[in-house]
Structure 1
Amino acid sequence: MDAPETPVYGKADGTLQAVGGLSGLQNLVENFYRIMGDTPEFRPLYDMHPDDMALTIDKLVAFLSGWMGGERLFSKKYGSMSLPQAHAHLIVTEKEKAMWLDCMAVTLDELHYPDDLKAYLMSKLAFPAERIRQVSAANHP
């Protein structure tokens, strides 16, 4: 009997499987927003969100599911979306971008994901974070 293959990040749903499938992703996102809300340095980001975080959590899980190669839950539940345009109403500078990425890094560390997965995710998440910052800068000169 063959040993199960290790998921390859960025290939099919390998990234999603590496974070523990949909349940692992749900746990990741819930912890991300918990840390954001409980950590003074990240709290300004948390305060940009609605008081009821359930929809925010669901939308990020749905988005990341497809982004990680799994089912495209966001388009099924919420329709099409442009990530930068969805955040265009917010003022996102280098400071907020770094805060978001730092909060994700803290979350990945707290959940004890392997270093290679953390490095992969952080390098890939930097791109949409930068696009959101660019669109914000264009909308809020």
Structure 2
Amino acid sequence: MTEATSDATQQETPQPTAFELIGGEARVRALVDRFYDLMDLEPEFAVLRGLHPPTLDNSRDKFFWFLCGWMGGPDYYISKFGHPRLRARHLPFAIASPERDQWLRCMAWAMEDIGLDEPMRERLLTSFFDTVDWMRNRPG
């Protein structure tokens, strides 16, 4: 096998996505549900919870649809609503460092609770941080 053939073969084998590595839709749903359960139940997430509507059913569905695509799975959110426009959709909500940090803490807790291994939790938290930090729209 030549080096060119070897390189072509390596390029044809896609790396598994985060969606595949965590276990597909069932695990994404479990993550989303645990995230919102914690937000709803734990006092340390009260500020974050206050940014959401009284019932979280719609938020759970939208976040599930979004995360499936964001993690490399089916683009349910885009097929239903178009481009996520995350920053624009979150502009009505005051998001500063404390809200960002609550969101990340809640997600870290949810990932641990559903049993994601540490390397995957670290990988996702790094990506989540970049996204959530970019969505801050208030000083602090």
Shorter-chain TM-score range:
0.7 to 0.9
> Which blocks of at least 5 consecutive residues in structure 1 are unaligned?
1-10
**Which residue matches 1:103?**
106
Residue of 109, 115, 125 corresponding to 1:122: 125
Structure 2 Cα separation of the partners of residues 117 and 38 of structure 1: 25
Q: Normalized against structure 2, the TM-score is what?
A: 0.84
Counterpart in 1 of 2:32? 29
1:52 paired to 2:44: no
Among candidates 74, 79, 94, match of residue 77 of structure 2? 74
In the TM superposition, residue 23 of structure 1 has moved relative to its aligned partner by 1.2
Could you tell me how far 1:52 is from its partner in structure 2? 2.1
- Distance between the aligned counterparts of 1:128 and 1:17, measured in 2? 21
Give 1:87's aligned amino acid.
Answer: H
d(CA) in 2 for partners of 1:12, 1:70: 13
Q: 2 CA distance for matches of 1:66 and 1:58?
A: 13
CA deviations on 1:19-78 (whole Å, 9 max, x unpaired) are: 220111011101100011111011221121111211101111111111101111111112
Whether contact under 8 Å (1:83, 1:132) holds in the other structure is: yes
Pick one of 97, 119, 122 that aligns with 1:94. 97
User: In 2, distance between residues paired with 1:82 and 1:13?
Assistant: 26
Q: Secondary structure of 1:42's partner?
A: helix
Q: CA deviation at 1:79?
A: 2.1
1:13 CA drift (Å): 5.3
**Structure 2: stretches of 5+ with no match in the other structure:** 1-13
2:46 partner letter: R
Distance 1:12 1:36 in 2: 33
**Do 1:16 and 1:70's aligned partners in 2 also have CA atoms closer than 8 Å?**
yes
Q: Which amino acid aligns with 1:34?
A: D
**Matches of 1:20 and 1:115, distance apart in 2:** 15
Shift of 1:12: 5.8
Q: Normalising by the residue count of structure 1, what TM-score does the alignment of the two structures yield?
A: 0.84
Alpha-carbon separation, structure 2, partners of 1:12 and 1:60? 24
